Amino acid sequence: MDFFTAQDNARRKTGRLVVLMVLAVLALIAVTTLAITIALHLMGEQSASQTNLSAQGMWSALSIELVIGVAIAVLAVVVLGGLFKRSQLRRGGRVVAEALGGREINLNTRDADERRILNVVEEMAIASGTTVPSVYVLEEESINAFAAGYQTNDAVIGITRGTIRNLTRDELQGVVAHEFSHILHGDMRLNMRLISILHGILIIGLLGGTLLRSMRFRRVGGGKRDNSGAVVLALGAVLMLIGYAGTFFGNLIKSAVSRQREYLADASAVQFTRNPKGIGNALVKIGSHTQGSHLQATQAAEFSHLFFGQGVRQGFSQMMATHPPLKDRITRVMPDWNGRFEATVSGHQNWPTQQTENDAPERESKYERSEAGPISRPGTGTGAMAAVLTGASAQTAINTMGQPDRRHLTQARATLEALPERIKTAAHEPYAARALIYSLLLSQDKIMRKHQLKALHQVARPDVYRALMDYGPEMLRLDVQLRLPLIELVLPALRTLSMEQAQHFRLCMERLIEADGDVSLFEWTLYQLLLSNLGQQGSGLSNLKLNDLQRECQLLLTVLATAGQDDPDEISAALNAAESELPFSLRATDDISDMRALSLAVERLRRLKPLQKPALLQAMARCIEHSGRILPAEAELFRAMADILDCPMPPLLSDEA
């Protein structure tokens, strides 16, 4: 399934789930009305020596006012409960990770295990074109992982200590690739919405439990003619049962959806890594592990549909299992599996027991080379990164959105190897990360750069400014092909900034951009990219069509056409090539220097329906490759624009790759 179809299916499935939940709420209203009717009838029979549950008596206690009142009350409880949970989850995946007892891994950790999982996640993120998510470790011995968040900019990867310790690097790749599939295909957002909806239904059960606990301070059956206490007790029990019954059916829906998505994510992981034994052996190790994939966290049941493996014991029925049977998942990815869960060797056996902190990165690098082959560096004239990019490169990137493969992993490793070690280390530290972004905004012209530094010095924090002066010279020589991957690497560090620090960081960027009185296309792109991925830019509902956004498409494509050439005939040729992919004609826009207009245009284009975006991306690709060759700066701009439009795109590969 391609990226856009998966996104559209996830959006449609959200609508279906809302319908199913509405039906569940209606059932709750009906059952609650019946329970209250019985309670009212019993209270009306207090004067009788024997209660009478006749149909006629029940019907007399029922009224339209009662039904409306119960419906309003139940709806209010469910909606408010769901909204309350949604407000709790507004910070995205980190809320889930912290609720499960997770600890965010320090980006500059010296723990070899933690460094290894960070490296795997960074590779996967660069290979898939997404920002690098934060990684949390759960101090549990079981083998499990999860992805949580609403969008890529608030996504996190959670992984247990047992997973890191017991899996080899290939197996870790399979697990992480599985979780990236959930991020890319919209499953993650769907799962977060399910948490809020189910919590709203659960609130009724919690109210019933509160009512029951209140009875501890009241005498039940104070007199022969007073059975109000018993009625309240019964009402509380009924409400609790109603709430948990609603949750039961809600969990059935959640489990059914989750099981199907797990099969798809397993298949995507195999396609991503081109190594079925990676994820297959990880699943085998779950079956042979003493604790399997079960978590001890108190809130594991609430988030059970997020996990890589069955996080809680499924109880009496497979219907309630959030994941397919382990044997079924293994045989789908490894048909030749012998069917036995044999004891497996811990992943630690692949590593020296006396590994020091200083030699860990070097050992990791050699290990990666042994898997991926020789690593090429940009600018050396060898390998995919130094080869010529063509229209086929852009087409492959579009076709593999949401489903990158082994070639993109190899490219990601080459990119990480090509980045200077000092710069990679700095990207993981919040102060230095800001300095790296500032350095990307510095002009190549010495006079203008001096003017920018003077303007920045007046507002920047001293320690950040010192870091800029330290890394600036090296950053000015950075290969253009490494700029976008570096931005993806620094984002986790930038997300740790406080609100005040983030606002100050944005102010400093604006001062640098405005220092020369003009906003270049690269400056605008970098600024918008950071706003988008740091959650400071909303996208609104995805409900627009291309025909609704002709002016916006025209402006964006004109900017792309003029970014690669100055000749009017070449610009016209680029637009003509782009026009072939659109349902309307294009003409060059006279004024493309208004970056505010471009910002507004892109903001509207972000609201395109998922299945409308491929045509726009195809038009963008035609625009930059019409001459038969794509320059590195054009490829960078193409991918950055796609990212801003919420379309994470893998690196462009050469035809040979």
Residues 6+ apart with CB under 8 A from 64: none
The 3-state DSSP class for residue 104 equals strand
Q: How many Cα atoms sit within 13 Å of 348 on the Cβ side?
A: 13
List beta partners, residue 499: none
List beta partners, residue 137: 103, 159
Residues 6+ apart with CB under 8 A from 527: 509, 510, 513
Instruction: Report H helices in 347-445.
Output: 360-372, 391-399, 406-418, 421-427, 430-440
Mode of pairing for the β-strands spanning 134-138 and 156-160: parallel
Got the DSSP string for 194-252?
A: HHHHHHHHHHHHHHHHHHHHHGGGS-S--BTTB-HHHHHHHHHHHHHHHHHHHHHHHHH
Contact 279, 57 (CB under 8 A): no
Measured over the CA atoms of residue 395, residue 640, residue 654 and residue 632, the dihedral's sign is positive
d(CA 209, CA 200): 15
Contact 308, 144 (CB under 8 A): yes
Q: Which residue has the tokens 């007399």?
A: 60
Return phi, psi of residue 148, to 5°. -140, 150
- Which amino acid makes up residue 542? S
Return phi, psi of residue 348, to 5°. -65, -20
d(CA 377, CA 383): 7
CA distances to 537, 552, 555, 643 from 600, rounded to whole Å, are 11, 8, 10, 16
Q: Known catalytic residue: 179?
A: yes
d(CA 321, CA 304): 9
Residues 6+ apart with CB under 8 A from 231: 39, 42, 43
Return phi, psi of residue 630, to 5°. -110, 120
Which of 171, 179, 262, 302 is catalytic? The answer is 179
d(CA 174, CA 171): 5
Starting at the edge strand found earlier in the chain, the sheet holding 103-104 runs 103-104, 134-138, 156-160, 145-148
Length of the chain: 657
Contact 124, 489 (CB under 8 A): no
The 3-state DSSP class for residue 389 equals strand
Contact 264, 317 (CB under 8 A): no
Q: Which two tokens stand for residue 382?
A: 């060898």
As separate numbers, helices (DSSP H) first and strands (DSSP E) second, the chain gives 26, 4
d(CA 639, CA 624): 11
Point out the residues that are catalytic.
179
